[in-house]
Structure 1
Amino acid sequence: MDILTDIILRAGRSAVELALFVLLPVMVVMLSLMRLLEAKGVLDRLVHVVAPVVKPAGLTGLGVFAALQINFVSFAAPVATLTMMETRGASDRHLAATLAMVMAMAQANTSFPMIAMGLDFGTTLAFSIIGGLIAAAVTYHGFARTLSSQEGPVDETLHHRVAEDAKGVLDVINRAGAEAFKIAIGAIPMLVLALVAVQALRTSGAIGLLTHFLAPALTAVAIDPALILPTLTKYVGGGTAMMGVMDEMLKNGSATIGMLNRSAGFLIHPLDVPGVAVLISAGRRVAGVWKPAALGAAVGIVVRAAGHVLLS
C-alpha cells in the first residue's frame, strides 16, 4: 500500500507541474495570439487566400480553419468547425477529408509544450501540414470516393469576436486565458492516471518484460525499444498523457531529444482512442465518416513519421 501511495503522490506532483508550469503558460500565450489574429481578421484573410490552393485535396475554407486550429490551438478546437461544416451543408466526402487532415496533424496542446522539452517545432509544423494535406487528398480521392459529394448551400463565414479597441483586445486576451486554463486543468486527470499507470507497470516489471520480448524485432528495424512505453500511452491515453510520460523519460535519461524528434511524426497527432472519441462527437455525419478518415489519416501519419526519421 505504501508503494501505491508513493506512486500516486509522485505521479500527481509531476502531472500538476507539467500542466501548470509547462502547458498553461505556453497555451495562454499561443491562444491569446491566435485569438487576437482571429479577432483582427488576419485568419479570415489567410483562409481566403489558402482555400483555393487546397481545394484539389478536398478541403474548403472551413477545412483550412480547422487546420489552423489543430496546429495552433488544441486537438479539440476543430470540433466546433466540424460541427459547423456538418450543419452548414458540407458533403460527407468533404467532411471525411477534413477529419482525416485533422487526425493526421500535430496537435498544438502537445507540440507547443514539448518545445520546452527539445521538440523542433519548425520541422513538426512543416510535416504536420504535408501529412495533413496528403491525408485529406487520399481520403477525398480514395478512401471516401464512394461517399456523397452532394452539398447544401454552404456558408463558410467565420463567426468570431472582433478587437477594434483596447477593451476588445483585453476581452479577447482574457477569454483566451480562460480557455487555456480550462485546457490545462482538464489535462491533469489524464496526466495523473497515465503517470500512475506507467509507474505501476514499471514497478511491476511489465514494461521491462514487454521491452525484453519486443526489443530484438524493434532493433532489427532500427526502432528504439524505449519508444514502447510512450507509444502505448499515446494510443490508449492520448497525446497529453504521452507528453507526461515523455517528460518523465527525458528527465530520467531513458529518452533523448533526438529520439523525441525522430518519433514526433507518429506520436504527436489525435489519431488515438481519446482523440477520435472527441472529434467524432462533432456530429452524426462526422461520426459516420470516421473509418475512411482514419485510413487517410494513417497514410498522412506514415508520411510524417518517415519525414521526421529522415531529417532528425
Structure 2
Amino acid sequence: MEILIEIILKAGRSAVELAFFVLLPVMVVMLSLMRLLEARGVLDWVVARLAPLLKPVGLTGLGVFAALQINFVSFAAPMATLTMMEQRGASDRHIAATLAMVFAMSQANAALPMMTMGLDLALTLTYSLIGGLTAAAATYYLFGRALSNTESRLDETLHHPVAESAKGILDVINRAGAEAFKLSVGAIPMLVLSLVVVTALRSGGAIDALTRLLAPVLTAASIDSALILPTLTKYMAGGTAMMGVMDEMRKAGQISVELLNASAGFLISPFDLPGVAVLISAGPRIAAVWKPAALGACIGIAVRTVGHILAV
C-alpha cells in the first residue's frame, strides 16, 4: 500500500508541475496571440486567401480555420469549427476531409509544450501541414468519394470578438488566459492517471516483459524499444498523457532529442482513443463520417512519420 501511495504522490507532483509550469505558460501565450489575431481580423484574412488554394484537396474556408486551431490552440479547438460546418450545410465529403486533416495534424497542446523537451517545432508544423493535406485529399478523393457532395448554402463567416480598443484587447487576453487555465487544469486528471498506471506497470515489470516480447520485431524494424511506453500511452490515453510520460523519460535520459523528433510524426496528433471520441462528439454528421476520415488520417500520419524519420 505504501508503494502505491508513493507512486500516486510522485505522479501527482509530476502532473501538476507539467500542467502549471510547462503547459499553462505556453498555452496562455499562444491562445492570447491566436485570439488577438482572430479579433483583429488577421485570421479571417489568412483564411480567405488560403481557402481557394486548398479547395482542390477538399477543404473549405472553415477547414482552413480548423487547421490553424489544431496546430496553434489545442486538439479540442476544431470541435466548434466542425459543428459550424455541420450546421451551416457543408457536404459530408468536405466534413470527412476536414476531420481527416484534424486527425492527422499535430496538436498544439502537446507539440508546443514539448519544445521545452527539444522538439523541433518548425519541422513538426511543416510535416503537420503536409500530413494534414495528404489526409484530406486521400479522404476526399479515395475513402470518402462515395459520401454526399451536396451542400446547402454555406455561410463561412467566422463570428468572434472584436478588439478595437485597449479594453477590447484586455478582454480578449483575459478570455484566452481563462481558456488556457481551463485546458491546463482539465489535463491534470488524465496526466495523473496515466503517470500512475505507467509507473505501476514499470514497477511491476510489465513494460520490461513487453519490451522483451517485442524486441525481435522492433530490432528487425530498427525501432528503439524505448518508444513502446510513450506509444502505448499515446494511443490509449491521448497526447497530453504521452507528453507527461515523455517528459519523465527525457528527464531520466531514456529518450534522446533525436528519437523524440523522429517519433513526433506518429506520437503528436489527436488520432487516439480520447482524441477521436472527443472530436466525433461535435455532431451526428461528424460521427457518421469518422471511418473514411480515420483511413485518410492513417495515410497522412504515415507520411508525417516517414518525413520525420528522414529529416532527423
**Could you say which TM-score interval applies, normalised by the shorter chain?**
over 0.9
Give the 4+ runs in structure 1 shifted more than 4 A: none
Q: CA shift at 1:12, angstroms?
A: 0.3
The CA distance in 2 between the partners of 1:282 and 1:236, in whole Å, is: 21
The CA distance in 2 between the partners of 1:77 and 1:144, in whole Å, is: 24
1:164-179 aligned at under 5 Å gives the runs 164-179=164-179
Q: CA shift at 1:122, angstroms?
A: 0.1
The CA distance in 2 between the partners of 1:141 and 1:19, in whole Å, is: 40
The CA distance in 1 between the partners of 2:52 and 2:64, in whole Å, is: 10
The CA distance in 2 between the partners of 1:262 and 1:75, in whole Å, is: 21
- For the pair 1:298 / 2:298, whether they are aligned, the reply is yes
TM-score, normalised to structure 1's length?
1.00
Residue type of the partner of 1:291?
K
Q: SS of the counterpart of 1:262?
A: helix
Identity across the alignment (%): 73
**What's the counterpart of residue 58 of structure 1?**
58
- For the pair 1:75 / 2:113, whether they are aligned, the reply is no
The CA distance in 2 between the partners of 1:42 and 1:255, in whole Å, is: 39
The CA distance in 2 between the partners of 1:264 and 1:24, in whole Å, is: 21
Q: CA shift at 1:180, angstroms?
A: 0.2
The CA distance in 2 between the partners of 1:152 and 1:18, in whole Å, is: 45
1:162-192 C-alpha deviation (Å, 9 max, x unpaired): 1001000000000000000000000000000
**What's the counterpart of residue 287 of structure 1?**
287
**What's the counterpart of residue 26 of structure 1?**
26
Count residues in correspondence: 312
Q: SS of the counterpart of 2:279?
A: helix
1:153-164 aligned at under 5 Å gives the runs 153-164=153-164
The CA distance in 2 between the partners of 1:4 and 1:197, in whole Å, is: 10
Unaligned runs of 5+ in 2: none
1:1-312 aligned at under 5 Å gives the runs 1-312=1-312
Q: SS of the counterpart of 2:59?
A: coil
Residue type of the partner of 2:271?
L
The CA distance in 2 between the partners of 1:205 and 1:131, in whole Å, is: 36
Residue type of the partner of 1:101?
M
The CA RMSD measured in Å over matched residues stands at 0.4
Residue type of the partner of 1:249?
M
Q: CA shift at 1:299, angstroms?
A: 0.3
Residue type of the partner of 2:203?
T
Residue type of the partner of 2:32?
S
